[in-house]
Amino acid sequence: MLNHDEIFDIFNDQMERVGTAGRLEVHANGWWHQTFHCWIISLRNDQPSLLLQLRHPDKDTFPNLLDISCAGHLMAGENVEDGVRELEEELGLQVAFSSLIPCGIYAEEDALPEGRMDREFCHVFLYRCDQHIFEYRIQQDEVSGLYFVGLKDFESLIQGAAQTIPAVGANLSVDGQLEERLLYIASTDLVPHDVNYYKLLFNAINQIDPDK
């Protein structure tokens, strides 16, 4: 669960490291830090889909919203390659860094409650995984559910061409088991990312060889 004692490397806006600071201090002061983002893409009924995670209600940022398949902060001293630990921690996937498809680095700024600011250099990746949603072993104090959305549907939602789209997946029950659910989600159900972030993601997806 949330660890207020986490220490991050902090950076200036040119992505030059300038020191370290604790999680609370970083967000309170709006200092730049690094995160690892991995979007899982899957073929479902021969159509590409993206996996979204439902963030735990106790998360300090954007609780109860759908977001990137797997994401987390890089700790002080870590390299981007160390980010694969998030896939194992949150989803139970043991993945070699070389298996990831790089999308690029995106500088993202989000206003948080109480006047805080979240400024992240996001290292964004794709990973192809076709396992069933019930095969994922989720970190139950971080993730409350997993949902697949069709790639075309998701693009339409992000671009404003669709008001809602179906999301097929599962939520954690009170006894910690995944229970299948169908949702119809709107853009307000998603953690906000700006349009250029999604351009980075969709451009990378469009370059994937569909036979791989």
Task: Give domain status of residue 212, yes or no.
Answer: no
Q: Would the pLDDT of 114 be above 90?
A: no
Provide the domain count of the chain.
Answer: 1
pLDDT at 4: 59
pLDDT at 212: 52
Average pLDDT of the residues of the chain: 94
Q: List pLDDT tens digits, range 47-71.
A: 999 999 999 999 878 899 999 999 9
Q: Would the pLDDT of 1 be above 50?
A: no
Q: List pLDDT tens digits, range 150-170.
A: 999 999 999 999 999 999 999
pTM of this structure: 0.93
* CA 146 to each of CA 121, 183, 211: distance values in angstroms, whole numbers, following the listed order: 25, 11, 25
Task: Give domain status of residue 150, yes or no.
Answer: yes
Task: Give domain status of residue 2, yes or no.
Answer: no
CATH number for the domain that contains residue 21: 3.90.79.10
**Which tokens belong to 163?**
């008001």
Residue 151's nearest CA partner among 134, 126, 181 is 126
Task: Give domain status of residue 79, yes or no.
Answer: yes
Task: Give domain status of residue 21, yes or no.
Answer: yes
